[in-house]
Every structure is written in C-alpha cells, then in structure tokens.
Structure 1
C-alpha cells in the first residue's frame, strides 16, 4: 500500500503501467519526507506482481512480491543512499555495476528494474555513466531516480526521464494519518513547522527534532538581536545536517515574510516562535527579507557532501545576518 495522500498519484501512474505507457526512465521528484521511496518500492512490486489486488496494489503473496520485499529478486535492485551519511556519493563504479546488471537478461520478472534513491548524490562521472542506460535502454528495463533535489541533476539526465512530481500532502489527510499513529494535540503545529510533511513531523515527534528546531530559532533570534554570535551557533550545530539547517532557515525566512505582510497566523509554518518572528519581521524591510530568502534558496541548491559543513552553515548565518540584522548590531 501507499500513504493515503499518495493514493491519487498511485491511480494516475498505475494507468501508465496498465496501458503499457511506462517509459524506460522515471524521475520521481518532490520534497523530502513525503513517501516517495515507499511509493516506488510498492510500484516496483506491482510491476512484477503476478496477482495484483482489485485496487491495483501488489498482492504481497506471490514469489515476485516476496523476493522484492526481501531484496533478493534477481531482476530488481534498490540503491538506497543513507540519509545520515551526507558524505557518501554515488560514484562511477556504482553506476557501471548498474549498467552491467541492466544488460543481463530477465530471469523471473516482467521488468528489469533499478531504483536509485537520493539520485542527486551522483558525482559528475557517475551521471555521465548513467547516460549509457538512458540513451540505450535494454528492452524491458525501467530505471527509477528518486530525489528531493532533482534540479541538481544534470539537464542531460532530467531531459531523458519521465517526471513524476509529488507535492506536499493535503493537510487533512496528513493530520488524520498522524492522529491514527498517535493521538496528540500538537500534530497541527508540528506539521506546520515541518512544512506540511507528515513523515518529517512523525520523525520530529519521535526523535525530539522539533525541540532542536525550536532551540535553533531561539538562537537565530538571539543572533539578530546581538545576543549571540555566528561561531557560537555553528559550534552547537557541528553535528547537524547542513541540508536540514538551510531548510529550517528557509522556513524561518518565509515566516518572516508572511509576518512582515501581516498574513493570517494560520499560514505560519513555525507558530511556536510566532512572537519572535513578528518582532524580527517589523525590523526588516521587504527587500532585505526577499534578499535573504534568495540567498538561502541558492545555498540549498549548492549544498553538497564534499564541502566544509561548518563553514557552509556559518556562511548561511552570516548571509542572514547581513540581510536582516540592523546595521548598528552587525559586526558584534
């Protein structure tokens, strides 16, 4: 099965399979923590399932379903880069092995399938090697590239893929799913703080990530009011994922813009720090707020595992400081 907010997408993309309109390469893109990879896992099982149920989902009982779920199907391979290890790249040897695998004749399944999660971690040599599959796909083969940063992939890769684009789920469906997992009055605020992504909200609730985010925003407020330093904040963030930090900064800056233009409080992603946001927003000009957001958007595009992560975080904080902090406080 797929997450409830992806049921409509399931029916849409299942139509491609049923009507034999599936292409040889599919780029599955969208925000992180919305269920893209699980969607692909279910879809790959359905592609080779011998007895799908009436709703079009894989039966889960046939040999192909069992083998794919166990990771031992001879015609299916998943490349799942660990989120925790941001230094890990997909290298050219990894792609060459995929090329060899895809060139082999099918043994049991209807399709030969490879699914690469976090495909944006391919280095340039790996991306070039992947073009061989995209330009000369073996018959009956399908390649899934899953990414929440699809814009980082070379245009030569993206242009050769069918795009399956996923968005932030409907909040009603997301809240219902969260409440079914664990009843709590905090879900609505936490879901908003996580940009509407229910899997991130669940992770935040379960791991204390929400408290870490709130503490970070309190440190940002202290920085903008001259009570904290860039190096002081970055030293406390030395073990944190820089992609997560820039994402938090983008959400924070977006909330400042909403507060500056006095949008309805329900549109704020981080309502738990609303008072701080309102105070900072009134001290900033619209131009400085949009300048800060532009800088953060660019930073998110270029963040990579190979860079010095602490310097990257410090640079982002300095950019926010330069854009938003009153001149009288800068340099303290």
Structure 2
C-alpha cells in the first residue's frame, strides 16, 4: 500500500501543477475575449465619430444612414429598444415574480416538479419561433382589439419578449427565495403572520438582492433580443411612444445592415459599431445599477 502511494505521488504532483495553469488559461481566454470585443467596438466607434458628430448622434431625431439625406441620430433606435423593453418588463416582472413566490412558498413538491420544467421549456424555444409566434398569432389578436395597429408593431414584440424572459426571472428569483433560511419563515409564522404576509413582507425583502439581479439580467436579455424584434417590430426607425406603430430597435438595425449589402469600411457599415457600443453602454449602466442595489440590500445569513 505504501509502495503504491509512493508511485502515485509524482502523478498527483504533476496534476496539481498542471491543472491550475489550465484553469488559469481558461479564465484568461474569457478575459481576453471580453477585452477584444470592447477594443473592436471602441476602435470602430471612434472611427465612426471622426465622420459624424457625437452631438448629432445623440440629439438628431432622425436615423436614415442608408438613405439620402443621411441622418445619424440614434434616438429613434434607442426609443424603439426602450419601448419594447418596457412592455416586456410589464409582462415578465409580475408574472415571473408571482411564479417564483408560488413555487417557493406555496407549491407542493409534486406541483413544483411539474410547473418548473414547463416554465423552463420557454427558455429553450428558439427566439425566431417566438418572432413568428408574435407576427402570426399575437399581432392578429391585438389587431382585433386595436384595428389601426400596424402589422409590425412594438406592442406584440414587447409582449412576446416579456413571455420569453419570464423563466429567467422566475427561476433566479425562486433560487434567491429558497436561499432564505427556514428559521426566518418559522419566526414570522411564530409571530402570527399568514403565508401571504411571510412571502411578501419577509421572504421577498430578504431575497431582494437576488430578485433585483434577476430583473436586470432578464431586462438586459430583452434589450439585446434580436430575432423577435426583427420579425415582429418592423424596420422603421421612428421616434415615437406609440407601441401600436412600427419601430426599429438597435439589434434589428444591426441585423439589417449586417446582411452583406453594405460595403465594408463605409460610414453605413461603421454605424453597426456605433449602435453596438450604445447598446453595450446601456446594458453596462443597467448592470452597474444592479450591482449597487444588490450590495445595498444584500442579506447575509449564518
């Protein structure tokens, strides 16, 4: 036995030396990939702003880089993206959080074992299927209610994007609530609280940091969604607050210009990177806000 241990010891020492280096290499690849993406976005965006004024980019209410006269105001794309995200949040946050509260605090184990996999199936559906679902089912239903609605519109796209991100909010929020110790629940019940009071006034506040993180992650996913808005929302960059009209989001514009018809190196081509950088900055700001809220309301349990 001792002889075997001596023979195996060099192999163990070799593994202990090599494995940390391999894992470090994996971590380094992730970092370098992120740095490379940011560098390319920044380099091409600066090249774009050598030809287009930054002030015009953030203040011009028109976006027509593919037509004459050319306008490079990102506001129509930004407003389209925010309208879709806002509608998605109105759908996903109440339903997702309500599902999480039910699964965490109310559902028996047998019911949870059925409902949770069904919810998670939504996360596995390809987004292009969601897009055609929005265009061929949701839009006709909405046009029955709103006859003047455009075929391509922000409302149906926002509703379906909201449906798509429900599982993300539900699953992550449920995990955050299940992490709250049962002793806190027992203490609340001991004070005479009802199940609803325990869920809404004790568990949800205790898990608030994780719940907020799920909201931000899901909304970042909604902001970056491509196929649903490309198919269902249209391709009309328009500065409007009317969700019944056709709009264009940042991601939909990137898809439009990336189809191969735009000459590489042209100002029209560089708009892809300017819009991509705007999208990157928007999601970065959201994540910084989420980190602040998470740190402020984080609860640590022994």
Q: With structure 1 as the length reference, what TM-score do the two structures score?
A: 0.23
Q: With structure 2 as the length reference, what TM-score do the two structures score?
A: 0.25
Name which one, 1 or 2, has greater alpha-carbon Rg: 2
Q: Give the structure with the higher percent strand.
A: 1
